[in-house]
Amino acid sequence: MKRVYVNEQWCLGCHLCEYYCAFANSGLSDMATALKGTRIVPRIHVEGDNSVSFAVSCRHCKDPICMQSCIAGAIYREDGVVRIRKEKCVGCLTCILVCPYGSLTPDETGIAQKCELCLQNGSGAPACVRGCPNRAIVYEEREDAV
């Protein structure tokens, strides 16, 4: 299965992936309209500083601990992609507590959200990958998936 991977050697810490992510999940067609004056809540986060930085998003684990720990059964796997049924989420945020990668975040309304590889939001392919200016974020098949 194709996953989003980050090569920190090429990450510039420009944070564009966060904005492209927020835009892709906004459902709007114009980026300025979608993001102007808002505090974005992206599903990918750039960590680090000017010397080393990297973008963190869901690893889509084969045995996801977030799914195991979800008390509402809102997190499920579909063709390898770990997803959330938002209507089932009760906002206990246990998934955020247990995720070893820090990949989940609360959304604007306080329930959990995570990267779902832009499969359902009209972007088609992960927007962070497409928007990365230095090919630091790639979407590819790898053997060593966790």
Partner 1 sequence: MGVELFYPEFEVVRNYDRCIACRVCERQCANEVHSLLESKGIMISDESKCVNCQRCVALCPTRALKIVKSNCTLRENANWQNDTIREIYKQAQSGGILLSSMGNPKPLPVYWDKILINASQVTNPPIDPLREPMETRVFLGKKPERVQRDETGALKCELPPQLELTMPIMFSAMSYGSLSYNAHASLARAAEKLGILYNTGEGGLHEDFLRYGKNTIVQVASGRFGVHEGYLRSGAAIEIKMGQGAKPGIGGHLPGTKIVGDVSRTRMIPEGTDAISPAPHHDIYSIEDLRQLVFSLKEATEYQKPVIVKVAAVHNIAAIASGIARSGADIIAIDGFRGGTGAAPTRIRDNVGIPIELALAAVDQRLRDEGIRNSISLVVGGSIRNASDVVKAIALGADAVYIATAGLIALGCHLCRTCQTGRCNWGIATQRPDLVRRLNPDIGCERLVNLLTAWQHEIMEMMGGMGINSIEALRGNRLMLRGIGLTGKELEILGIAHAGE
Binding site for partner 1 (CB under 8 A): 9-16, 19-20, 23, 31-32, 35-36, 50-51, 131, 133-136
Q: Cβ of residue 117: shortest distance to partner 1, in angstroms?
A: 20
Nearest approach, Cβ of 74 to partner 1 (angstroms)? 31
Q: What are phi and psi of 95, to 5 degrees?
A: -60, -40
**Alpha carbon of 27 to those of 33, 92, 141: distances in Å?**
11, 26, 27
Instruction: Output 34 or 92, the one with its CB closest to partner 1.
Output: 34
- Shortest Cβ distance from residue 137 to partner 1 (Å)? 11
Q: How far is the CB of 23 from partner 1 (least distance, A)?
A: 8
Using an 8 Å Cβ cutoff, are 19 and 40 in contact? Answer: yes
Q: Measured from the CB atom, is 39 or 143 closer to partner 1? A: 39
Q: Is 136 exposed, middle or buried (0-12, 13-18, 19+ CB in 10 A)?
A: buried
Token pair of 11, please? Answer: 């990450």
Residue nearer to partner 1 on the CB measure, 23 or 60: 23
